[in-house]
Amino acid sequence: MIISKISFANYRNLLDNEIIPDKGINIIYGKNAQGKTNLLECIWLFNGVRSFRGSKDSDLVAFKKDFSKLQITVFSQEREQTADINIINGKREAYLNGVKLSAPSQLLGKMSSIVFSPEHLSLIKDGPAQRRKFLDSALCQIMPRYAVILSKYNKILNQRNALLKDIPYHRELEETLDIWDEKLAYTGAALIFERIKYIDLLKKKVREYHRGISENKEDLKIKYSCCYKIPKGSTQNDIAEFLLNKLQKNKRDDLYLKYTTIGPHRDDIDIIINDMKARTFASQGQQRSAVLSLKLSEATILDEITGEKPVILLDDVLSELDTSRQDFLLNKIDGWQVFITCCEKRFTKQLTNGKTFLLNNGSVTEETKI
Ligand SMILES: Nc1ncnc2c1ncn2[C@@H]1O[C@H](COP(=O)(O)OP(=O)(O)OP(=O)(O)O)[C@@H](O)[C@H]1O
Ligand SMILES: [Mg+2]
């Protein structure tokens, strides 16, 4: 997908305007608090999801205004299309080619972008929940059925956990645990099976991107990590039986702790740079590069599966990278439309092709090349 026009009105601090981006790299630069992230956020909303900053819809409307209007014109699925998002009375509504959609989430799969923002460093730095979230949301985007299984699994997990809490008071309930174990094992195995397949796809790409960013100096490896070793080539059914067996073995622990100690809700991705665990040993720049490699690989897989390249939104990514890593992002990612924000004008000089925009106090102006 290539965005050919973006217009916005009453969106956060951005002044009503329209911009015509380049089909390659677009740098948006400006001082702190001018509206750079706001601009990326408004492109992101066209995924049909909530802000990547976790803001409420009503927070997106400019102060003292009662609605926001956003529109993008894109070339996707081999034709020109428009999408609108209006935020009225604190709620988002979406239109595709002038037709109102039943929910903004209907844009999912029709418009797509991936975002890197400094908060995404938590993918390396924080606990496993962030990495599971990355896997789950990547899989939901390429496989809507995954979202259905995930929600089913979470319901079963909640019910099993509630039962674990009730059993000490109603001993007779213990025999019903087996039913939940079976449901949990079979639904959980479907998640694990898809996650392992996805990691297998991701693995090679992540390594290649990371080599590119680090000028072949670093080796990035990722691996799906379970609380039990899954032999290579296991079927979904093998995984389910494994999981069931483990659940039964752990029954006493689970009853004592009153929660389910194993299953895909406890799994993780091991991220290793040059044979060292990234979470513990990677430098700031290495962490940034690793997250970027993961995000760019996610975009590549999305392109391979849907046949449509997502737009890449990179918020404030350049500052902690050395010149060669910056150069990789600015000049070596070919064939993608990228929006990249930064504070310093000097980065625009490193750009060989593309457009630059200055964001000053909510006002966006395209800079002409000298
Ligand atoms: N609903 C809103 N109405 C008006 N202004 C808002 C609204 N929400 C946020 N802002 C303002 O938008 C300004 C710009 O925010 P933004 O995060 O886009 O800055 P930025 O250019 O990315 O800065 P930085 O370089 O520090 O990341 C903030 O100062 C914030 O107060
Ligand atoms: Mg910002």
Total of domains in the chain: 2
Distance 28 CA to ligand 2 centre (A): 10
Residue nearest to atom 5 of ligand 1 (CA): 13
Task: Kindly state whether residue 94 falls inside one of the protein's structural domains.
Answer: yes
Identify which ligand lies nearest to the alpha carbon of 363. 1
Instruction: Give yes or no: residues 170 and 214 share one domain.
Output: yes
Residue nearest to atom 13 of ligand 1 (CA): 33
Instruction: Give yes or no: residues 151 and 265 share one domain.
Output: yes
Ligand 1 atom closest to the CA of 63, numbered from 1: 3
Identify which ligand lies nearest to the alpha carbon of 33. 1
Residue nearest to atom 11 of ligand 1 (CA): 13
Instruction: Give yes or no: residues 145 and 174 share one domain.
Output: yes
Pairing of strands 268-273, 338-342: unpaired
Ligand 1 atom closest to the CA of 343, numbered from 1: 25
Residue nearest to atom 24 of ligand 1 (CA): 32
State how far the Cα of 70 lies from the Cα of 209, in Å rounded to an integer.
Answer: 33
Q: pLDDT tens, 269-314?
A: 999 999 999 999 999 999 999 999 999 999 999 999 989 999 999 9
Q: pLDDT tens, 124-135?
A: 999 999 999 999
Identify which ligand lies nearest to the alpha carbon of 362. 1
C-alpha to C-alpha distances, 236 to 131, 185, 230, 243, nearest whole angstrom: 22, 10, 11, 11
Which of 36, 45, 68, 315 has most ligand 1 atoms within 8 Å of CB, for mutation? 36
- Ligand 1 surroundings by CB, under 6 angstroms: 12-13, 30, 32-38, 59, 61-63, 316, 343
Q: pLDDT tens, 213-249?
A: 999 999 999 999 987 788 889 999 999 999 999 999 9
- What pLDDT does 350 receive? 84
Distance 316 CA to ligand 1 centre (A): 14
CATH number of the domain bearing residue 239:
1.20.1050.90
Q: Is the pLDDT of residue 32 over 90?
A: yes
Task: Kindly state whether residue 68 falls inside one of the protein's structural domains.
Answer: yes
Task: Kindly state whether residue 297 falls inside one of the protein's structural domains.
Answer: no
Instruction: Give yes or no: residues 88 and 142 share one domain.
Output: no
Q: Is the pLDDT of residue 65 over 90?
A: yes
- What pLDDT does 358 receive? 96
Instruction: Give yes or no: residues 217 and 80 share one domain.
Output: no
Task: Residue 327: count other Cβ atoms within 10 Å of its Cβ.
Answer: 16
Q: What is the residue range of 232's domain?
A: 124-280
Distance 13 CA to ligand 1 centre (A): 6
Ligand 1 atom closest to the CA of 31, numbered from 1: 25
Q: Is the pLDDT of residue 370 over 60?
A: no
Distance 52 CA to ligand 1 centre (A): 14
Ligand 1 atom closest to the CA of 316, numbered from 1: 27
Instruction: Give yes or no: residues 219 and 320 share one domain.
Output: no
Residue nearest to atom 29 of ligand 1 (CA): 33
Instruction: Give yes or no: residues 168 and 234 share one domain.
Output: yes
Task: Kindly state whether residue 224 falls inside one of the protein's structural domains.
Answer: yes
Task: Kindly state whether residue 177 falls inside one of the protein's structural domains.
Answer: yes
3-state secondary structure (DSSP) of residue 356:
strand
Distance 37 CA to ligand 2 centre (A): 4
Identify which ligand lies nearest to the alpha carbon of 13. 1
Instruction: Give yes or no: residues 329 and 350 share one domain.
Output: yes
Task: Kindly state whether residue 293 falls inside one of the protein's structural domains.
Answer: no
End-to-end Cα distance, the chain: 29
pTM over 0.85: yes
Instruction: Give yes or no: residues 167 and 232 share one domain.
Output: yes
Residue nearest to atom 12 of ligand 1 (CA): 13
Instruction: Give yes or no: residues 87 and 210 share one domain.
Output: no
Distance 35 CA to ligand 1 centre (A): 5
Is residue 9 within a helix (H) or strand (E), and if so which, with residue range?
A: strand 2-9
Task: Kindly state whether residue 287 falls inside one of the protein's structural domains.
Answer: no
Boundary (domain end) residue, out of 280, 300, 323 = 280
Distance 211 CA to ligand 2 centre (A): 27
DSSP state at residue 275? T
CATH number of the domain bearing residue 80:
3.40.50.300
Residue nearest to atom 16 of ligand 1 (CA): 35
Identify which ligand lies nearest to the alpha carbon of 360. 1
Percentage of residues in the chain having pLDDT higher than 70: 99
The overall average pLDDT reported for the chain is 94
- Highest averaged pLDDT of the listed ranges 32-36, 108-112, 142-146, 333-337: 32-36
Distance 348 CA to ligand 2 centre (A): 17
Instruction: Give yes or no: residues 107 and 142 share one domain.
Output: no
Distance 95 CA to ligand 1 centre (A): 26
Instruction: Give yes or no: residues 134 and 276 share one domain.
Output: yes
Task: Kindly state whether residue 163 falls inside one of the protein's structural domains.
Answer: yes
Q: pLDDT tens, 73-125?
A: 999 988 999 999 999 999 999 999 999 999 999 998 888 999 999 889 999 99
Cross-sheet strand order for the sheet of 355-360 = 113-116, 311-314, 338-342, 25-29, 355-360, 363-367
